[in-house]
Amino acid sequence: MRIHVLGSAAGGGFPQWNCNCPNCDGLRRGTVKARARTQSSIAITGDNTRWLLCNASPDILTQLQRFPELQPARALRDTAITAILLMDAQIDHTTGLYMLREHRERWPLWCTAPVHEDLTRGNPLLNLLGHYCGVDWNTIPIDGQAFTIAAFEGLRFTALPLISNAPPYSPHRDRPVAGDNIGLLIEDANNGKRLFYAPGLGEMEARVWDAMNRADAVLVDGTCWTDTELVDLGASKKTARSMGHLPQQGEGGMLSWLAQLPSSTRRILIHINNTNPILDEDGPQYAELRAAGVEVAYDGMEIIL
Ligand code: MLT
Ligand code: MN
Ligand code: ZN
């Protein structure tokens, strides 16, 4: 299986249009060694021809231009995106669906029932898309049952409901229900290799930890370095945990978990918020990650399993 990181930033991207935090300002001025990043999305293929889009970012058109393999040009209207899967109903993971409205057919769309509910009520994006190409919704099971996606028969998917948070416009914001956010364990049936993907992981649970331990690579929530990062900067009143994101640093933080994975596991952070000091490649936090064998995903990164 091959994974292409289309966008490695959290909501807002990096730099964020209205942000002058040390990272965003430093990147614009060229005084911080960092890479610009678009918003959270990956694409996965088992055959190098058909690609599953995991999340549809507001930056999808830029991401498609930067990754020509998604435009194979076999017909007047064409795409290599064969199906779309959503990890949650957040703006940064769904708004790109609007930009994919010119599709000639209904999009095969995979998401959980609570995500479908949010996208037909709180943010009725799927209703609007119905006036264009429309979608064929397939329910992602959250009872631990493995599922397959048509055209991706070589890949076996298992969704894990995560403790995180629903979007601000969801009827269950701050009262999350199972399926608002999922992690995915994706297994290549041909070689048995597994990826664990969870861009929004708020709390480690036994089931999630077990899935991470079974993976050859984990691509997990790298939103914030500390819980109070946005508050300390005066950028927001929201803590990382209140938004459903486990911070990296400190006791019980993501790094303490990653350190306990088998030494052979590839550990990669994704969905990085623009305020996160790990974006500064000259900074002490980036050095700490390197020393711990933890990678920071970047746009265009490829993971081959
Ligand atoms: C999140 O992951 O918490 C959201 O994407 C934040 C946002 O888009 O505003
Ligand atoms: Mn997000
Ligand atoms: Zn910023």
Evaluate the CA torsion angle 233, 239, 240, 246 in order and state its sign: positive
Instruction: Tell me the mean pLDDT in the region 278-294.
Output: 98
Q: Are 202 and 182 in contact (CB under 8 A)?
A: no
Q: Is the dihedral of CA 299, 210, 138, 177 positive or negative?
A: negative
Residue percentage of the chain with pLDDT more than 90: 98
Task: Confirm or reject: Cβ of 180 under 6 Å from ligand 1.
Answer: no
Closest atom of ligand 1 relative to the 244 alpha carbon: 3
Per residue in 228-269, pLDDT tens? 999 999 999 999 999 999 999 999 999 999 999 999 999 999
Tell me the one-letter amino acid at 195.
Answer: L
Q: Which of 124, 123, 214 is nearest to 173 (CA)?
A: 123
241 touches ligand 1 (CB under 6 Å): no
* Ligand 1 midpoint to CA 77 (Å): 32
Q: Ligand 1 pocket test: which of 14, 123, 243 has the largest number of ligand atoms within 8 Å of its C-beta?
A: 243
pLDDT digit string (tens) for 122-156?
Answer: 999 999 999 999 999 999 999 999 999 999 999 99
- pLDDT tens figures, 14-61: 999 999 999 999 999 999 999 999 999 999 999 999 999 999 999 999
Q: Where are the alpha helices (DSSP H) in 67-194?
A: 91-94, 96-99, 113-118, 125-129
Look up residue 244 and give its amino acid.
Answer: G
Q: Contact at 8 Å (CB) between 161 and 144? A: no
Q: Is the pTM of this model over 0.85?
A: yes
Each residue's pLDDT tens digit, 213-239: 999 999 999 999 999 999 999 999 999
- pLDDT bracket for residue 164 (50, 70, 90): confident
Q: What is the mean pLDDT of the chain?
A: 97
Strand 217-221 relative to strand 194-198: parallel, antiparallel, unpaired? parallel
Residue 184 has pLDDT above 90, yes or no: yes
Percent of the chain with pLDDT over 70: 100
Whether the CB of 224 sits within 6 Å of ligand 1: no
DSSP 3-state of 293: coil
**Which residue of 18, 92, 224 sits with most ligand 1 atoms within 8 Å of its CB, as the best mutation to test the pocket?**
92
How far apart are the CA of 302 and the centre of ligand 1, in A?
A: 24
Cα–Cα distance list, 206 to 202, 218, 220 (Å): 13, 16, 16
CA separation (Å) from 33 to 29, 164, 230, 270? 10, 31, 21, 18
Q: Is the CB of 243 under 6 A from ligand 1?
A: yes
